[in-house]
Amino acid sequence: MTTSRNNDPLEPAAPDWDVVTVPARQGLEAVDILRRGAGDAVGPVLHDGGCGTLGFLVPPGTAAAWDVPGSVCTETDGRGICLMPDRPAEDSDWLVPPGEADLATDPAVLREALGQAQRMIEAADSCR
C-alpha cells in the first residue's frame, strides 16, 4: 500500500496522519522514553537520510494544535509516506517501522516525552 492519492478504485485508501519533526538528539531521547513507558507508546518513527531529524507519525489533526518549541507538525493527508517496512519516503528510513509499533504516537504522550527529553539534554549539556 502506498500513500499516493490517485483515482484507482482498486488501490486501498492511504491512512491520514500528521508528522511531528524534531532534532534527532531530542527525538532519540523521546523514543527511549516512550519505549520505557507503560505499554507500547511509540508509533512509527522516520529518520532523514542525514539523521538530522526524526519524524513521529501522529493522528491527523494534531498539526492544528501543535505548539511544542523546537518541533514542527505537518499535515500529510496520507501523501508522501509509505507504511511499508522498506523505504517510506525519499531520503528517509524507519527508526521504528510500522508493524513494530502502533499506527501513530499519541500527541499528548509525545509532547510529554519531548519535554522530558529536552530537560535531559539540557542537564547533560550543563555538566560539561
pLDDT in tens, 6-65: 444 444 445 678 999 999 999 999 999 999 886 668 899 999 878 799 999 999 999 999
Res 64: pLDDT:
93
Mean pLDDT of the chain: 81
Res 13: pLDDT:
47
Q: To which H or E segment does residue 73 belong? A: strand 72-75
Res 106: pLDDT:
94
Res 21: pLDDT:
96
Res 57: pLDDT:
92
Res 17: pLDDT:
84
Identify the DSSP state of 39: S
Rounded Cα–Cα distance for residues 83 and 98 (Å): 6
Percent of the chain with pLDDT over 90: 47
Q: Assign residue 15 a region (left: φ > 0; alpha: ψ between -120 and 50; beta: otherwise).
A: beta
In this prediction the pTM is: 0.80
Rounded Cα–Cα distance for residues 116 and 63 (Å): 21
